[in-house]
Amino acid sequence: MRAGIVVTAHPGVAELAVRAEELGFSSFWVYDTPMVHGDPFVALGLCARATSRIKLGVGVTSPALRSAPAAASAFASLNALAPGRIVCGVGTGNSARRTLGMPPTTTVELERFTAALQDLCAGRSAGYREGDRVRGVRFLHAGLHVNTADPIEFLVAALGPKAAAAGRRGAGLVSFGLLDPAAWRALQAVRQQAANPPRAVTIAAA
């Protein structure tokens, strides 16, 4: 388990990121909660310029808040400022959506969104849907405006059986408050089982 710091987006956030780096924290996160906090991508752009080692993450974005192309553009732009140090945290948007008086998204949509972000941020194409219309999209100017060469780390905020989504996508898990080691072991077990599902056994009866 790695320890990080999570804050709201506000003036002076870059100084906090510098201090977190000096104290040896592995990551520095900014909440993505529209109508409550400032924009996390603006904040982390400042943090990227002020730091050199610490991982920088958005905790967490959601398909209920942003489209996959828009989110991928933001993450890949941050990756151009801090190559290899960007963490994409994704979730159902529970807190952010409830703030807007709306329900969080489904686990199925979360997993689909995560897959699209992973493809787009790696320079691959992904399907983009609006209603019944689906189009394949990809970055047209990768390398000039965004960084798709250096890897972005993906973490899923999910509890209970939903942690399986992280395993299926080859992503890690993130929580902003869960400290119980036993609970973490249980979540990791769900994630690992989904990542390496048991093989089917064939039994022949005579």
Domain span at residue 63? 4-195
For residue 132, is it within any domain?
A: yes
Tell me how many domains the chain contains: 1
Query: Model confidence over 16-50: pLDDT tens digits?
Result: 999 999 999 999 999 999 999 999 999 999 999 99
Query: Model confidence over 67-110: pLDDT tens digits?
Result: 999 999 999 999 999 999 999 999 998 888 888 899 999 999 99
CATH number of the domain to which 16 belongs: 3.20.20.30
pTM of the model: 0.91
Phi, psi of 123 (to 5 degrees): 90, 5
For residue 202, is it within any domain?
A: no
Helix axes 40-50, 68-81, angle to 10 degrees: 10
